[in-house]
Structure 1
Amino acid sequence: MGSGSREAQIEAARHAFYEGFVAEAVDAFQSGVAVQDSSGRRHTGLLRASDLAGWRATEEPTTSLRFAGRTIHKTAAWGQGPVLLQQLAMLEALGVADLVRTNDTVELVHTVVEVAKLAFADREAWYGDVDDVPLDTLLSGAYAAERARLVGSEASEGLLPGSPDGRVPHVAAALWAARAESAPGVGEPTVSPIGLSPGDTCHVDVVDRWGNRVSATPSGGWLQSSPVVPGLGFALPTRAQMFWLEPGLPNSLAPGRRPRTTLSPALLLDDDGSGVAFGTPGGDQQDQWPVPFLLRHLVGGAGLQASIDAPAWHSTHVPGSFYPRTHTPRGLVAESRLGADVLDALADRGHQVETVGPWELGRLSAAGVRSDGLLVAAANPRGMQGYAVGR
């Protein structure tokens, strides 16, 4: 490999960042400058040049599930990606296709929300950057059917993780006692809880002329409050707030371990290689908002744009991934376009319904290639920065 090759230049850039002047500047700032954190006090940081030098990006296999004749690919359980797949597996066990085809919106929303509560409870008990996540069982048809039997006609209470392979679930002792709090670096970085400034998570889907697809959800440094390293011009990330300090959990803080991220890009592929990259920013909602999108597109037969445009909703029942992990028991946030009759019927079932504006939830986009080779894309009309473009 010559010194001027593309690979050599990439390695030189990586070395300068993780072992050169960038790492040195981060080390000097973290060890020498005290910054106010969520405690209201000032502390120096823990990140050192040796931490950066010891890290390498890895190539890892996706986690996938067959649903409605397609294969959906997500991250492994060091991130929350498989929680989308668990929801789809349970919905299939419950015969969701019949709900979509009969257009029973109340039953569909109720079922999707109840399934989300079960899947996210499993996320809390089992997901993390550890080797013993029982992922095969969590995504199995038998386990999905077992969990799906817990879905009743009323909004469920409490946190109900399952017991894959007979294992006893273990969640953080403080999980159900989260409280609201606003402080620098606290919360999910899509919308700031301490001001009107927008957050920093975004999502991009790309397809090139050869049909190669990329799905990416960049996030990390929260520009409203994260410390910016002098001379470098970028903010340090706040994702470590997603760790638990309680030992013994899959997502407990430990050396070399990644926090269980909410960042959750995705691929939807057909057997002939066609399909799309898709995803959204939005913290815990990154694996909730795509569920009705996929149901409308794959089961209902709607196009990409129509599936994105349709009314959206999500559950706030399970405590969030970001400190201080707030939640609303039986909480359901829904766009008003679902209709007053639907929202009232959901409230009658015990859901604590919060109605928001008609175009407020979801930031989905998708880009890919059809089976006939035509490149396609669709973007979210909500907000101000959703685009589908081609050249």
Structure 2
Amino acid sequence: MSFTKYPFMGWYPRPPDQRELSVRMPEFMTRPELRGSFGMVSSTHWLASGVGMSILERGGNAFDAAAATGFTLQVVEPHLNGPGGEVPIIFQAAGGAPTVLCGQGTMPAAATAGAFAGMDRIPGSGVLPACVPGAFDAWLLLARDHGTMPLRDLLSPAIGYARRGYPLMPQVVDKITQVRRVFETLWPTSAALWLSGRSVPDADSFHRNPALASTFQRLVEDAERSSGTRENQIDEARRIWREGFVAEAILGFVSDPIPDGSGEYHRALLDGDDLADWRASYEDPVSLDYAGRTVHKTGPWGQGPVFLQQLRLADALGTGEADVLSADFIHLVTEAAKLSFADREAFYADPGFVDVPLPTLLSRDYAKERAPLVGADASLELRPGSPDDHTPFLPELRPTGTTEAADLAGGEPTVNRAGEQRGDTCHLDVVDADGNTVSATPSGGWLASSPVIPELGFPLGTRGQMFWLDPRSASAVGPGRRPRTTLTPTLVTRDSEPVAALGTPGGDQQDQWSLTYFLRLVHGGMNLQEAIDAPMFHSNAVPSSFYPREMSPGELTVESRVGEDVRTELRRRGHRVVVSEPWSLGRLSAVSRDPETGVLRAAANPRGAQGYAAGR
């Protein structure tokens, strides 16, 4: 048996049927794992990864590269994120500590339960579910405090693609096609941007967004006139965003009722004080030790801790001893996910407003208490626990089955529960030669979420749909609260040094796919690319976070590349197996660094022919 050293895992034996890469590629690899010592960028779009790498080549650090990559994603993946959306960021500066930067805007001050009278759920589209846009401020705060490059350099690539055009991926065209009727009948400003001559653009045609280019360009020029220092210019751009012409355009556009995707008219709750008062902010991550590493996630205003709960259960269940491609592994991971996500739905919320029993949820004792619930057969129930004697409450979920009407009315444009691609969120990871490391999952402000604000070239987000209207729910809607999002980047350290950053789009699947990926790295002897390319799976027996809030008891979606013998065994154990296309689940990205040698690595998802890593 041979041994291979990976910086993320240390020395691990490789299975005897796999030889060294110099002889042949491992079974699951579509492309090489990148290796180098200068810098690595991995994201869900090759243009964004190229921009991030160009920033590193010009002398910027990982924080500069991440910000420029993030702004570029807002342009080239408009069906997945936009300037009106949000972003959680986890990072670690060389010599510093892991830190979360919260770019999740809050619900407006007017978002009381009475504002949604007569509704049983907050709609998934239109302007009513809009939170304060958070991504722009978050990227600039990261760049101001930790980057080195001026504002113009960070926004110029995005401006260039918006002004000169970028190639539309088929996924963008598919999303425009799905919502064409909404654009034509309800959202004329979106039709003007996305339906040239009332026609859906051709796949691989180039698309321009002059209004967005002008918005970013004016922000740069107005900020540069205000002050000579880099930091002051960035702060001025942030001020203009929340108080200047951007805020004025947003408020002017939403001053009258606007239809959502179902045709219902609503008035936005956002006002000038909401926009002016909000700032992105730093906070400590929630962290957990596992197999000699420490995994860092956002707090329970995101779903990040559910990754950590699953790790505790994996330890208690001995999941690491199972073959990472086996039915036993899939069963254990899936059943642990059901228990953890039940707790997520019952207890997670903005901890500034709700007492979330997180220390107990992440404790070894709680995992040992819950582990015996995982039996030999698949569970068909949603079973939250009672940490610290908290009484769990689960709002009513709809039967499974996403309809066209529900799509048009607006849930997240993500991979659907059977694995069919309908769009998604974005993700990026960056590491530089000094060890500065960033992981971020931008989302919201999708082209199908809300009508385009014509002066600005982008729509508002709809993240407020993730709140419940039942006041008994931990994540009940309320003024100033952060929605409990699904956005969940991951940072991994070893001996206080960052060794990996990873993540994926995918809504409720994010902390399932990322968890499986992490376990395959730690226990499966796979490198970064091989673990991405390996056949993926996820459970649909977890509550959907998006309108119309569904759940499918016992349903397990697997890529067809999961062998027939594995699928047969899973069915024997009671899982309701849905077979998806062979390359349809997960859009993972990852970078890593070996603190001992300085060797950097990166990998990206081949699914959808869009994600790429760049580095040297």
Cross-structure match for 1:263: 487
Cross-structure match for 1:317: 541
CA contact (8 A) 1:200 1:222 kept: no
* Deviation for aligned residue 1:191: 4.9
CA contact (8 A) 2:421 2:584 kept: no
* Deviation for aligned residue 1:185: 4.9
CA contact (8 A) 1:221 1:237 kept: yes
* Deviation for aligned residue 1:296: 1.3
Cross-structure match for 1:273: 497
**Does residue 90 of structure 1 match 2:298?**
no
* Deviation for aligned residue 1:339: 0.6
SS of the residue corresponding to residue 590 of structure 2 reads strand
SS of the residue corresponding to residue 175 of structure 1 reads coil
Cross-structure match for 1:112: 333
Which structure 2 residues correspond to residues 1-391 of structure 1 after superposition, within 5 A? 3-32=227-256, 34-100=257-323, 105-131=326-352, 132-172=355-395, 174-175=396-397, 180-181=402-403, 182-191=406-415, 199=423, 201-271=425-495, 273-371=497-595, 372-391=597-616
* Deviation for aligned residue 1:140: 0.4
Unaligned runs of 5+ in 2: 1-225
> What is the distance in 2 between the residues matched to 1:369 and 1:347?
40
Q: Report the structure number with the largest CA radius of gyration.
A: 2
> What is the distance in 1 between the residues matched to 2:542 and 2:421?
26
CA contact (8 A) 1:192 1:224 kept: no
CA contact (8 A) 1:187 1:323 kept: yes
SS of the residue corresponding to residue 615 of structure 2 reads coil
Taking only the aligned residue pairs, the percentage that are identical comes to 56
* Deviation for aligned residue 1:192: 8.4
Unaligned runs of 5+ in 1: none
Corresponding pairs, count: 384
CA contact (8 A) 2:309 2:361 kept: yes
SS of the residue corresponding to residue 281 of structure 2 reads coil
Question: Which AA in structure 1 matches 2:319?
Answer: V
1:132-160 Cα deviation digits (max 9, x unpaired): 11111110000011111100111112210
> What is the distance in 2 between the residues matched to 1:86 and 1:38?
36
- Seen in structure 2, the aligned counterparts of structure 1 residues 351 and 192 have a Cα distance that, compared at 3 Å, is closer
SS of the residue corresponding to residue 613 of structure 2 reads coil
CA contact (8 A) 1:380 1:386 kept: yes
Q: TM-score, normalised by structure 1?
A: 0.93
CA contact (8 A) 1:185 1:226 kept: no
Question: Which AA in structure 1 matches 2:411?
Answer: G
Larger RCO, structures 1/2 (Cα 8 Å, 6+ apart): 2
CA contact (8 A) 1:199 1:222 kept: no
CA contact (8 A) 2:424 2:506 kept: no
* Deviation for aligned residue 1:288: 0.3
Question: Which AA in structure 2 matches 1:367?
Answer: V
Greater Cα shift, 179-188 or 268-277: 179-188
* Deviation for aligned residue 1:163: 0.6
> What is the distance in 2 between the residues matched to 1:383 and 1:245?
36
Q: TM-score, normalised by structure 2?
A: 0.60
> What is the distance in 2 between the residues matched to 1:157 and 1:382?
30
Question: Which AA in structure 2 matches 1:378?
Answer: A
CA contact (8 A) 1:130 1:250 kept: no
> What is the distance in 2 between the residues matched to 1:200 and 1:337?
22
* Deviation for aligned residue 1:209: 2.0
CA contact (8 A) 2:536 2:558 kept: yes
- Seen in structure 2, the aligned counterparts of structure 1 residues 25 and 285 have a Cα distance that, compared at 3 Å, is same
* Deviation for aligned residue 1:96: 1.4
> What is the distance in 1 between the residues matched to 2:261 and 2:347?
27
CA contact (8 A) 1:68 1:299 kept: no
CA contact (8 A) 1:26 1:49 kept: no
1:73-105 Cα deviation digits (max 9, x unpaired): 1100000000011001101011112213xx671
Greater Cα shift, 55-64 or 292-301: 292-301
> What is the distance in 1 between the residues matched to 2:289 and 2:471?
35
